Chain A
Amino acid sequence: MNVPVAVTAVYVAYAVGLLLTFGTVLTWVERKQAAIMADRIGANRAYVRIPFTQIRLIWWGLFHGLADGLKMLFKEDFRAVPYDRVAYALAPWVTFVPVMLVFAVVPFGGSLAPGRLFPALAATYGTQSFRMQIAPLDAGLLVIFAFGGLTIIGTMLAGWSSDNKFALLGSIRAGSQLISYELVMGLTIIGLVLIYGTVDLDTIVRRQSGTVLGILPAWGICYQPFAALLFLTAAIAENKRIPFDLPEAESELIAGYYTEYSAMKMGLFMFAEFIEIAIVAALFTTLFLGGYNLPWLTDAGFVFPGGHRLALGTGTVVVMQVLTFLAKVLLLCSFQILVRWTLPRFRWDQLLHFAWKILLPLAIANLALTAIAVAVLR
């Protein structure tokens, strides 16, 4: 399918805007949710004063993210004497860029027909419709794992080039942890790949649009509940968040592999981490929660199990699908933050034990059972 440049540009703008917004807003969500879980109020002192008036916009502390960003931009870019200057300067970008790229293959909506949505564009696009996905690749899942694996290089580069024991310890931990959990993540996904018979994310999402057993939505989590659990665990570990935050355990390693970074370089690491929350949520949504699918919503409107129909226009359906995807992603982000502020950190040996002796056998068992079931039912 040949997608015009204009459509792709709109998609890219949407995706980049979305990810950057998520990265900023999630810092606020994290603070506020942690505060509310702990019977506190949370950050609410930063404000923007409308010029020439005394009206202060506080907006529940939303501007703290802005204040953070400004602080990081204007802080002194302190440079330790690194072991390797090029690697030191490169590391934040090697961590940040792949995280942004992963979203390229995630479908964030059904199909978009610009000609039918906006009559003014009908002359240009006719009745063509395009998948709402920046890069409609057949190898979507593989691309995700390829880019996901790149972040390891970033952390290793940062730790190695900083010439700092804490940073090196952090990056060694990060390397072994990420590789261990990536294995688990990959094995949990293969079950889904067996069921759907493809690694194209758009097809996977489309396969999840119907219902199973009459009432349940045909989401991946209904076919593979166990894999969903394992995947979420491994994904949180991939993201190096509590309870798996040993690479940057602040009570042991200062800040782990980015100890020697300051100002916006450190900000990039933090930003990548927060965007990765959204990415993990988007991946889980795509693979296990039906992506942009609402139960019983088709391209023509709702079709309820009883046979009732509720016809909706194309524009409404597109907007609903996009919003559904966003809502699922937000809920999952919130869930990850809930996990972070609930569970205590693992010990290092427990972490590897958990990956290799518990998660990996479970993932393999799940894969074997799925393979047998798929072979028998086919």
Chain B
Amino acid sequence: MSRPAHRRKRYWNEPRMGWWERAYLFEVARGLLITGGVFTANMWKWITGRKGALTAYYPEEIRADYAAGNRGKHVLTQRPDGRPQCVACNLCATVCPARCIEIDAAFDPDDHAHPKYPVRFEIDYSRCVFCGMCVEACPEDAIRMVPETPGLPSFDRDRMWIAREELLHWKPQHDAAKPYPPADSSGGAP
């Protein structure tokens, strides 16, 4: 069985080497100058106490160029007195496609405006898909997502649950549009 001789395909834009490139040495020198230049520039940055690399230290360093709309780690917003704005309505947990939000509700008789509040609010980041549906479902603007995602990875799945206190306090946010207690619009206390 005879096979046709192999013929390398020629492309229309194949680079052609002139005598300068064929001499090899000059191009080697040029390459060394380029890499050496990059090395010197980066090394100078390191020596003068700046960072000479594009890499972000992970997880110690939060990268600076997250998109403004990136859906990252959740934040529970606070009322002015520091309690969560969440009313434990379970809408976020219901809408969550990954079913990773768990809320235990409790009753606070002293808080007339919002007697129901979450004693336990946990998100399982080993399952969260960062779809943002919880944020859209929330009627109280109690849960938000910020661009950054610090502290999520872990060697152990059980350690990837993040609880109410951290969600409230790792990056405290208030809803300035809603004063608390809310202005009375019912025409008088019951």
Which A residues lie at the B interface, using CB under 8 A?
33, 35-41, 338-339, 341-343
B150 in contact (CB, < 8 A) = no
CA distance A338 to B57 in the complex (A): 25
A36 & B55 in contact (Cβ 8 Å cutoff): no
11 further A-B pairs in the complex, CB-CB below 8 A; given A39-B54, A342-B32: A33-B39, A36-B42, A36-B53, A37-B39, A39-B42, A40-B53, A40-B54, A41-B57, A342-B28, A342-B31, A342-B34
Closest partner residue, chain B, to A229 (CB atom): B25
Known A-B contacts A338-B35, A338-B36, A343-B31; A40 and B55 likewise in contact (beta carbons under 8 Å) = yes
CB nearest neighbor in B for A337: B39
B97 within 8 A of partner (CB): no
Name the B residues within 8 Å of A39 (CB-CB). 38, 42, 52-55
Chain A residues contacting B162 (CB-CB under 8 Å) are none
Distance between Cα atoms of A25 and B6 in the complex (Å):
48
Bound form: Cα–Cα A118–B31 in Å = 49
Q: How far is the CA of A343 from the CA of B39 in the complex (A)?
A: 15
Chain A residue with minimal CB distance to B43?
A36
Q: Which residue of B lies closest to A60 (CB)?
A: B46
Complex CA distance for A215 and B36, rounded to whole angstroms: 27
CB-CB under 8 A for A36 and B39, given A339-B32, A342-B31: yes
How far is A290 from B121 in the complex, measured between Cα atoms in Å?
A: 73
Q: Mark B22-64, 1 if CB is under 8 A from A, else 0.
A: 0000001001101110110011001000001111010000000
With A39-B54, A41-B55 as known contacts, state yes or no: A338 contacts B39, CB within 8 Å: yes
A38 to B35, CA, bound (A): 8
What distance in Å separates the Cβ of B174 from its nearest Cβ neighbour in chain A? 35
- Supposing A36-B43, A36-B46, A37-B42 touch, asked if A341 and B35 sit within 8 A by C-beta, the answer is yes
- Contact partner, B35, options A35, A37, A40, Cβ 8 Å: A37
Q: How far is the CA of A14 from the CA of B97 in the complex (A)?
A: 67
B51 to chain A, nearest CB (A): 8
Chain B: which residue is nearest A38 at the CB level? B38
- Chain A residue, CB-CB nearest to B52: A36
CB distance from A229 to the nearest CB of B (A): 8
- Give B38's nearest chain A residue, CB to CB: A37
User: Residue on A with the closest CB to B31?
Assistant: A342
Residues from chain A with Cβ under 8 Å of B35 in the complex? 37, 338, 341-342
The answer for the CA separation of A339 and B32 in the assembled complex, in Å, is 7
Q: How far is the CA of A341 from the CA of B35 in the complex (A)?
A: 8
Set of chain A residues within 8 Å of B42, measured between Cβ atoms: 36-37, 39
User: Can you list 18 residue pairs at the A/B interface with Cβ under 8 Å?
Assistant: A33-B39, A35-B53, A36-B53, A39-B52, A39-B54, A39-B55, A40-B54, A338-B32, A338-B35, A338-B36, A338-B39, A339-B32, A341-B35, A342-B28, A342-B34, A342-B35, A343-B28, A343-B31
Residues in A neighbouring B55, C-beta threshold 8 A: 39-41
C-alpha spacing A244/B46, complex, angstroms: 31
Q: Which 6 residue pairs of A and B lie closest in terms of their CB atoms, listed nearest first?
A: A342-B35, A37-B39, A41-B53, A36-B42, A39-B54, A41-B55
